[in-house]
Structure 1
Amino acid sequence: MIIALDGPAASGKGTIARRLAAHFRLPHLDTGLLYRAVGAKALAEHVNFEDVAALERLAGALDPAALDPESLKAGAIGEAASRVAALPGVRAKLLTVQQDFAHQPGGAVLDGRDIGTVIAPQAEVKIFVTATPEARAARRHAELVGRGEAVTFEQVLADIAKRDERDSGRASAPLLRADDAEILDNTHLGVEESWQAALAIVARRQGLGGAR
């Protein structure tokens, strides 16, 4: 079973994806980490973000097994990730990695921006997780402040708006809801409520008649 979760930044799709993976004992890939890793590498090596060829080389040399999620959560890296993710050449370099992960024996859970539309359009379960920009900014702001970053809510909200525009407007694999994806709007839902809603969607799509 392939479970595809898509949605904008800070919608909570990653948290839901991890819990679904643990529940169904499936491997999980946060595809955003791949782009964050490329962005982080570009920042560390002072690569010009206008140098598309250099960014493509970084993507081609990426080792998914070496990703460190905690080190890739800084706000600056999120902005860098959004910029490199808009480049068709970078996306092409990382496409095979994501598709191979999705199609491993037994299935997998993946979350990102284009899982249900590009990476695994044949996924048995597709969920589009979303929330208002204000709700998402509040969550991301709390997360960043909790890690000791000095950032205001207004700055985070502006960054969310910029990333939404870039993710939805890019020419290559823009953020879109797959036609057969169920929408999970968690603007007014807590973590547990979001998780239960996602579990119910999986149950419906698999014809289980309930969560197991």
Structure 2
Amino acid sequence: MQKITIAIDGFSSTGKSTVAKQLAKHLGYVYVDTGAMYRAVTLFTMQNGWIDNNQFDVVALVSHLDAITINFQFNPKLGFAEVYLNGNNVEHQIRTLEVSSFVSKVAAIPEVRYQLVKQQQQMGKDKGVVMDGRDIGTVVFPYAELKIFMTASADKRAKRRFDELVSRGDEVDYEDVLRNVQERDYIDSHREDSPLVKADDAIEIDNSDLTLKDQFDKVLDLVTKTVSS
């Protein structure tokens, strides 16, 4: 069976990573969570004190981009690859609400996007890859054989994110999570460099009322049709 490139874009907390991981495992493809890469850069920025609620030292971040190394290491116990920042496992740290509150601002910096897009394109140069993010079908792989755009209501997405954080033991307030989702939607859609938009040839899936199985079956059917066409 020929290998293809599968690009999954969409708003935050639409389940992009969940279905992408399922697909990659089912197909034997490489999975790349580009959102995790931007989260790792955000964590690095926070650790160095270059961003908080009152300031963002973009110059400092841009001048230290060469000091950032991000890679993925498969964890057989978990069944997916975890994110490593400069040799340290940061899978848990990058998923906090605090990182979420800054990641869209960091991801809007053109130099950051340029650096990470180059890495992402290299990861997928041999096809057989499932990549999810905000600009995969429009910038990273504009010629991907299958492009999917995930969406869901802000309320549903906030509830999913809230449940995920609580299940990990994080103390969060639902209204804070909802506000974060809405703010990220606005920043992601209005940034000047590579804004979140649906590619003209992407297939939109609203999973507000879909189960995880329904969502997976729907996407797998699209893959099957694409490969056989």
Please, what TM-score do these two structures have when normalized by structure 2? Answer: 0.86
| Aligned-pair identity (%) | 39
For 2:164, the equivalent position in structure 1 comes to 143
Q: Tell me if structure 1 keeps the 8 A contact 2:152–2:206.
A: yes
Cα deviation digits, residues 148-186 of structure 1 (max 9, x gap): 222121111111000000000000000011111111110
**1:93 CA drift (Å):** 1.7
5 Å matches for 1:71-110? 71-103=93-125, 105-110=126-131
More strand by share: 2
Q: Tell me if structure 2 keeps the 8 A contact 1:60–1:94.
A: no
Q: Does 1:175 align with 2:178?
A: no
5 Å matches for 1:10-29? 10-29=13-32
Q: Which of 59, 63, 74 is 2:69 aligned to?
A: 63
Can you give the 5+ residue segments of structure 2 that lack an aligned partner in the other structure?
Answer: 72-83
Q: What secondary structure is seen at the aligned counterpart in 1 of 2:92?
A: helix
Can you give the 5+ residue segments of structure 1 that lack an aligned partner in the other structure?
Answer: none
Q: Which of 29, 33, 46 is 2:36 aligned to?
A: 33
Cα deviation digits, residues 31-90 of structure 1 (max 9, x gap): 011110111011111114532222223433322223432331111111221110011121
Aligned equivalents of 1:71, 1:34: Cα separation in 2: 12
Aligned equivalents of 1:28, 1:56: Cα separation in 2: 27
More helix by share: 1
Q: 1:21 to 1:136 in 2, by over 3 A?
A: same
Q: 1:115 to 1:90 in 2, by over 3 A?
A: same
Q: 1:81 to 1:97 in 2, by over 3 A?
A: same
